[in-house]
Structures are given as structure tokens and as C-alpha cells.
Amino acid sequence: MMFSADELSAVLRRVVAKDPEAFEALYRATSAKLYGIIVRIVVNRSVADDILQEVYVKVWQHVGDFDAAKASPITWLATIARNRAIDEVRRRKPDVAQEEIETIDVAGNDSHPLDALDRSQDLQALMGCLKTLDQEKRDIILLAYCRGLSREELARRYVRPVPTIKTWIHRGLAQLKACLSS
């Protein structure tokens, strides 16, 4: 069931009075839309589930802050959801590079110990060069090439246009190539 902006404003006024039935109606009317916004940003559905729950807790606690003169109810709710999802992406970003570096297979399928040594040295050089990139480029390259995320998925995750993601990957790979060849 979808409400008009006026109906949603009326429901929010009832939620201000801490009416649990109004809150349930608000959830039923808006949760699918907010979940869609969140999952497009964080990609991971279980993380999106947690964020959606946090969004409604925040709405319950801060519903008195809603001002119909500044935004429609759905815009206010969507802004809360979007900001919380972006905060989560930013919070998780520092983990990406270390996780990916730790999961790279050092031994590989080398049949000779010297091949394994060469591979290990190449990996050390690559890791050293990765550390020269700024964190965002490094994370995007690792997510693209180690986890196989598409440019579109990366754009949603980092809340950037796809061409920006492509440019960052291109420049990051160029920096890696220059670093590895020196």
C-alpha cells in the first residue's frame, strides 16, 4: 500500500505521538523503496537488511525532526536510508585491501620451487605497488579484479558515476604498471 505525500505526512505525525500502528503502516508503505535504495549502495543484502532496521530505529527516534516544508516524507526517509548506507560503505572500505591481499594464492600451481619463489617475489612487488595507490583506487582495483565486481556494482558501492570508476581503474592500473616496471 502506497500513500500520497499528504497521507505519509499524516502517518508521520501519528508516529511523532509514538503510535505503533502508524509506525507499522509507515514501514509497510515505505520499506520496499528504502530497501531498494540501500541494497543498490551496499550491494550485500544481509548488510542492507541490518541498515534498513537501523533506518527505522532512527526514524522512530528522530521523527520529530521531519519538516514537511523542507522535503516530502519519502524524500526525508530516502535521505536517511541513503546516508546510512553510504556511511556503512565508507566504514567498510579500509578492510577491502587487506582482505584481498590476504586471499591471494601465493603458492599457485607452480611445479618447481623456483617458479614459486618468482611468483612470491612478483606478489611482493605487486603488494608494494598497491600500497602506493590511494586507498580508494587500491580498493576498487582489488574489488574489480579479485572479487569480480562489475564497474556498475563499484559505482553503486562508492556512490560515483560509472565513468569515474572506469577512470580510477585505468589510472590505478597505469600507476601499477609504471611501479612494477621500475
pLDDT tens digits along 92-119: 765 554 554 444 444 444 444 445 445 5
| pLDDT at position 4 | 84
- CATH class of domain segment(s) 104-181: mainly alpha
Contact 129, 174 (CB under 8 A): no
% of the chain exceeding 70 in pLDDT: 82
Fold match flag (5-91 vs 104-181): no
- CATH class of domain segment(s) 5-91: mainly alpha
The two most distant CA atoms of the chain are separated, in Å, by 73
pTM above 0.75, yes or no: no
Sequence ranges of the domains in the chain: 5-91, 104-181
DSSP 112-126: SHHHHHHHHHHHHHH
Tell me the H-state helices in 17-150: 20-42, 45-62, 73-103, 113-130, 135-145
What's the rounded mean pLDDT across residues 44-68?
A: 92
Whole-angstrom Cα distance, residue 30 to residue 95? 32
More confident residue, 173 or 103: 173
Whole-angstrom Cα distance, residue 44 to residue 23? 26
Running DSSP on this structure, what letter comes out for residue 132? T
Whole-angstrom Cα distance, residue 148 to residue 125? 22
pLDDT tens digits along 131-143: 888 888 888 888 8
CB-CB neighbours of 19 under 10 Å? 14
Contact 160, 171 (CB under 8 A): no
Residue type, 30: T
